[in-house]
């Protein structure tokens, strides 16, 4: 068959009938449609590109700029702490500093040449580096790293199951083990470079570390500035340290701040990070510094850094200086605190000199305003019995607890009112109580079996009747006293223990006082009612006159304050207010005043509270033969009080806790006081009363100034 040429084909196509042409006439239409769609897409693309360039061009240019220019933050000085008169307790000492801000994608190997150069420029004393610190520095050199990696055996590269280890961190740890002691036997200059490297390598991307923040000279600041182009990320700045210009004994009360090296406490790191903190930020770690961290922490300064294509910092420019933290002003006047400590120390030294405090572990005193809860003085002298060394430790007033003795009896009478077993100034018979299976229990002034003395509630406080309190408890058991009786109280039943403790808690004993300090102890309350060591029924009688649970000096001061103000328990506080800064950074205007915080009211009537207050007054001013607090008469201000003696032991030695809760002036109280003198050999000289009298006199003198 003859092959058809291209021209023949073209000819045949032109001679096709019209029906065939009409069938193929759709092809140009589809092509036209396709061309139209493509044209439309090109138009849309051009319009979109124009929109991006004209309408949003600036926004995208800014984003591109942000990829190479970033903002970093650095800490500002903390707020300062002042006493009640505006004298500075805790301030900040500014130090010149050399800093390093880590860029993006910066590896340890990138830090080595910078560390070496900085080491040439300035003197940085070597830290006491660990073996791991030295190995990390040695391995940061790529050649050293390769050499150590070659020492890895096949066994080193597989896990316990024989699988190949792909995790770089795990392999690095194994590589570290291959570094020999000889390779990290650095000379002093190398140790200094390793120290600089460690400090630089301690922070993550876009975080700042201090290379040197102590003893930095102006010459070193200038040298760093002159060589900034060779030491990417290294800059100059200012650091601060806490300082205590008046050398007060309240330093442990205000607490501590972590170093940048320590950074955030590990157990609280997540909580702080959620608030915007960095791992190396310094924060308050104890007491006021911790309690008021959000107030004292300043607003961070902001700097703008420019990165090169490798993520290294090229320039660093300050944008915002930040803001110093707000200030705290305390309720404690340093001068008054010092005076009360002088009184306590002088009288305690007398006890030591006479041998009366041979087994004593200290003296503990709190003075507070019963109407506002403002703490005016916290004095605690801790004594090391072995060395006889006496140290000041105000925090012991909230974290050391002792048996209170009869000071609690006002609260016991209050429990009697609440339980309805007495209603007013009811009379009960004071007599020695002989309970079956227990030793005789009696008041100090009435130990002869068969001797009966009728006492009302006020007299029970004035004379400090143990029997009155125990009979209140018997009435709560729905029984009256009979000689050698068996208590109708089941061993292991906590009900009445809880009844007494509930009322004691209304006065602040055995519960948190609500003070604005962390670390408060609530004392010891035996609640092991279902064990072999469970309280016996006789222990309930002991609890009624303060010979079972233990309380702190702050709890007893709150108790005294609650009686003094008529039955409102107010949280003690040591911060009077939060203040702004003046332009020079010192104490500015009041921003927030700490208002009195009412925790609860004692659940008795005003008439019943008046009876307790009258009993407290008679403890000092009564004329009865058994009046217990007469040695506080003659003070500069009228005192109302309740004394307490708790029988204790130190090893084989019989001792006593000599305590007092008091307030003055009795008719319009301005101060509430607690005194705890634990483990004395004798109370014959009434040291507790002598100390309270001296404290009240010191307050009267202070008030008159």
The model's pLDDT over 327-356, given as tens digits with 9 standing for 90+, comes to 999 999 999 999 999 999 999 999 999 999
CATH numeric code, 68-101+211-222+234-328+578-592: 3.90.1310.10
**Residues 503-534 pLDDT 10s:** 999 999 999 999 999 989 999 886 654 445 55
pLDDT of res. 280:
76
Instruction: List C-alpha distances in Å: 67 to 64, 233, 314, 596.
Output: 5, 17, 14, 52
SS3 229: helix
On the question of a common fold for 68-101+211-222+234-328+578-592 and 335-567+602-704, the answer reads no
SS3 content of the chain, % helix, strand, coil (to 5): 40, 20, 40
pLDDT above 80: residue 47: no
Among 42-51, 269-278, 375-384, 553-562, where is mean pLDDT lowest?
Answer: 42-51
CATH topology of domain 107-204: Arc Repressor Mutant, subunit A (1.10.10)
Q: Is-above-0.85 flag for pTM?
A: no
Cα distance between residue 96 and residue 319, in whole Å: 19
CB contact at 8 A, 237 and 100: no
Cα distance between residue 407 and residue 397, in whole Å: 17
pLDDT of res. 584:
83
pLDDT of res. 659:
98
Banded model confidence at residue 1, pLDDT cuts 50, 70, 90: very low
Banded model confidence at residue 14, pLDDT cuts 50, 70, 90: very low
**Residues 106-152 pLDDT 10s:** 999 999 999 999 999 999 999 999 999 999 999 999 999 999 999 99
514 φ, ψ to 5°? 85, 15
The secondary structure of residue 442, as a DSSP letter, is -
Cα distance between residue 106 and residue 113, in whole Å: 12
Single out the residue of 413, 404, 465, 443 nearest to residue 619, CA to CA.
465
DSSP string over 31-68: HHHHHHHHHHHHHHHHHHHHHHHHTSHHHHHHHHHHHH
pLDDT of res. 72:
67
How many C-beta atoms surround the C-beta of residue 528 within 10 A?
A: 11
The verdict on whether omega for the bond into residue 665 sits within 30 degrees of 0, i.e. cis, is yes
Cα distance between residue 89 and residue 332, in whole Å: 11
pLDDT above 80: residue 316: no
Kindly state the average pLDDT of the residues 432-436.
Answer: 91
CATH numeric code, 335-567+602-704: 3.40.710.10
Cα distance between residue 642 and residue 465, in whole Å: 12
CB contact at 8 A, 659 and 645: yes
Query: Which residue, chain included where needed, has tokens 């006047």?
Result: 333
Which H or E run contains 563?
helix 553-564
81-82 and 327-330 beta bridge pairing:
parallel
pLDDT above 60: residue 60: no
Neighbour-count burial of 252, counting CB atoms closer than 10 A to its CB (0-12 exposed, 13-18 middle, 19+ buried):
middle
Cα distance between residue 572 and residue 674, in whole Å: 13
pLDDT of res. 142:
94
Q: Where are the domains of the chain?
A: 68-101+211-222+234-328+578-592, 107-204, 335-567+602-704
The better pLDDT of the pair 494, 616 is held by 616
Single out the residue of 604, 605, 600 nearest to residue 571, CA to CA.
600
CB contact at 8 A, 657 and 645: yes
User: Is 235 one of the catalytic residues?
Assistant: no
Banded model confidence at residue 39, pLDDT cuts 50, 70, 90: confident
**Residues 212-227 pLDDT 10s:** 988 999 999 999 989 9
Query: Phi-psi region for residue 209, left (φ > 0), alpha (ψ -120 to 50) or beta?
Result: beta
Average pLDDT of every residue of the chain: 88
DSSP string over 381-397: EEE-TTT--EEE-TTHH
Neighbour-count burial of 42, counting CB atoms closer than 10 A to its CB (0-12 exposed, 13-18 middle, 19+ buried):
exposed
Contacts of residue 551, Cβ cutoff 8 Å, sequence gap at least 6: 401, 402, 404, 509, 510, 523, 559
Single out the residue of 92, 517, 515, 597 nearest to residue 327, CA to CA.
92
Query: Phi-psi region for residue 150, left (φ > 0), alpha (ψ -120 to 50) or beta?
Result: alpha
Contacts of residue 454, Cβ cutoff 8 Å, sequence gap at least 6: 427, 428, 429, 430
pLDDT of res. 64:
47
pLDDT above 70: residue 68: no
Banded model confidence at residue 200, pLDDT cuts 50, 70, 90: very high
Spell out the alpha helix ranges (H) of 236-378: 251-254, 269-274, 287-291, 293-296, 334-354
CB contact at 8 A, 96 and 320: no
The secondary structure of residue 529, as a DSSP letter, is T
Query: Phi-psi region for residue 437, left (φ > 0), alpha (ψ -120 to 50) or beta?
Result: left
pLDDT of res. 430:
97
The secondary structure of residue 645, as a DSSP letter, is E
Query: Distance between alpha carbon 381 and the CA centroid of its chain, in Å?
Result: 22
Which H or E run contains 349?
helix 334-354
Which of 406, 414, 442, 658 is flagged as catalytic? 406
SS3 492: coil
Length of the chain: 705
Cα distance between residue 594 and residue 330, in whole Å: 10
SS3 221: helix
Single out the residue of 354, 460, 410 nearest to residue 690, CA to CA.
354
**Residues 684-703 pLDDT 10s:** 899 999 999 999 999 999 99
Kindly state the average pLDDT of the residues 269-284.
Answer: 85
Contacts of residue 544, Cβ cutoff 8 Å, sequence gap at least 6: 412, 466, 469, 470, 472, 473, 500
CB contact at 8 A, 258 and 283: yes
């Amino acid at each position: 068959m003859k092959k058809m040429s291209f021209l023949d084909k073209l000819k045949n196509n032109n001679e096709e009938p019209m029906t065939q042409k009409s069938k193929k006439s759709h092809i140009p239409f589809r092509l036209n449609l396709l061309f139209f769609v493509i044209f439309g897409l090109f138009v849309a693309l051009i319009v979109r590109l124009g929109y991006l360039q004209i309408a949003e061009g600036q926004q995208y240019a800014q984003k591109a700029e942000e990829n190479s220019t970033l903002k970093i933050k650095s800490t500002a000085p903390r707020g300062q702490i002042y006493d009640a008169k505006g004298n500075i307790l805790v301030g900040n000492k500014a130090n010149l500093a050399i800093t390093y801000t880590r860029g993006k994608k910066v590896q340890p190997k990138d830090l080595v040449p910078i560390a070496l150069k900085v080491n040439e420029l300035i003197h940085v004393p070597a830290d006491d580096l660990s073996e791991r610190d030295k190995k990390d520095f040695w391995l940061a050199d790529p050649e050293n790293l390769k050499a150590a990696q070659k020492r890895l055996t096949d066994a080193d590269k597989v896990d316990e199951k024989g699988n190949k280890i792909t995790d770089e961190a795990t392999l690095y740890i194994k590589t570290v083990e291959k570094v020999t002691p000889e390779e990290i036997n650095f000379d002093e200059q190398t140790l200094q470079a390793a120290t600089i490297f460690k400090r630089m390598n301690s922070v993550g991307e876009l975080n700042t570390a201090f290379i040197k923040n102590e003893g930095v000279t102006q010459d070193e600041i200038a040298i760093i500035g002159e060589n900034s182009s060779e030491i990417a990320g290294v800059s100059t700045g200012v650091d601060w340290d806490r300082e205590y210009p008046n050398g007060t004994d309240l330093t442990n009360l205000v607490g501590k701040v972590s170093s940048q090296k320590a950074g955030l406490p590990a157990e609280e790191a997540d909580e702080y990070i959620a608030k915007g903190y960095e791992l190396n930020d310094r924060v308050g770690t104890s007491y006021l510094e911790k309690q008021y961290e959000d107030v004292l922490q300043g607003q961070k300064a902001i700097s703008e850094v420019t990165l090169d294509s490798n993520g290294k910092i090229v320039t660093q420019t300050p944008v915002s200086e930040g803001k110093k933290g707000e200030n705290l002003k305390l309720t404690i006047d340093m001068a008054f605190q010092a005076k009360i400590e002088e009184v306590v120390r002088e009288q305690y030294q007398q006890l030591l000199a006479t041998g009366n405090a041979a087994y004593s572990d200290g003296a503990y005193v709190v003075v507070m305003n019963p109407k506002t809860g403002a703490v005016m003085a916290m004095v605690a002298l801790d004594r090391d019995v072995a060395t006889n060394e006496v140290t000041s430790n105000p925090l012991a007033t909230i974290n050391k607890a002792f048996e209170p003795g009869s000071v609690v009896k006002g609260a016991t009478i209050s429990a009697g009112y609440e339980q309805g077993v007495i209603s007013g100034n009811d009379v009960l018979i004071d007599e020695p109580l002989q309970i079956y299976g227990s030793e005789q229990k009696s008041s100090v002034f009435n130990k002869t079996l068969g001797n009966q003395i009728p006492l009302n509630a006020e007299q029970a406080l004035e004379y400090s009747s143990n029997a009155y309190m125990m009979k209140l408890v018997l009435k709560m058991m729905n029984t009256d006293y009979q000689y050698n009786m068996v208590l109708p109280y089941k061993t292991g039943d906590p009900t009445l223990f809880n009844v007494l403790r509930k009322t004691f808690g209304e006065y602040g004993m055995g519960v948190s006082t609500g003070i604005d300090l962390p670390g408060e102890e609530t004392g010891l309350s035996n609640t092991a009612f279902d064990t072999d060591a469970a309280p016996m029924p006789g222990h309930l009688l002991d609890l009624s006159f303060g010979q079972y649970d233990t309380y702190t000096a702050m709890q007893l001061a709150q108790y005294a304050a609650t009686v003094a103000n008529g039955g409102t328990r107010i949280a003690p506080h040591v911060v009077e207010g939060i203040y702004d800064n003046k332009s020079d950074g010192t104490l500015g205007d009041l921003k927030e005043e700490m208002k009195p915080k009412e925790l609860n009211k004692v659940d008795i009537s005003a008439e019943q509270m008046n009876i307790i207050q009258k009993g407290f007054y008679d403890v000092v001013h009564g004329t009865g033969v058994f009046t217990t607090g007469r040695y506080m008469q003659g003070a500069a201000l009228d005192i109302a009080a309740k004394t307490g003696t708790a029988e204790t032991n130190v090893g084989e030695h019989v001792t006593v806790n000599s305590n007092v809760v008091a307030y003055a002036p009795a008719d319009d109280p301005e101060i509430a006081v607690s005194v705890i003198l634990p483990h004395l050999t004798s109370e014959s000289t009434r040291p507790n009363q002598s100390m309270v009298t001296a404290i009240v006199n010191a307050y009267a003198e202070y008030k008159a100034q």
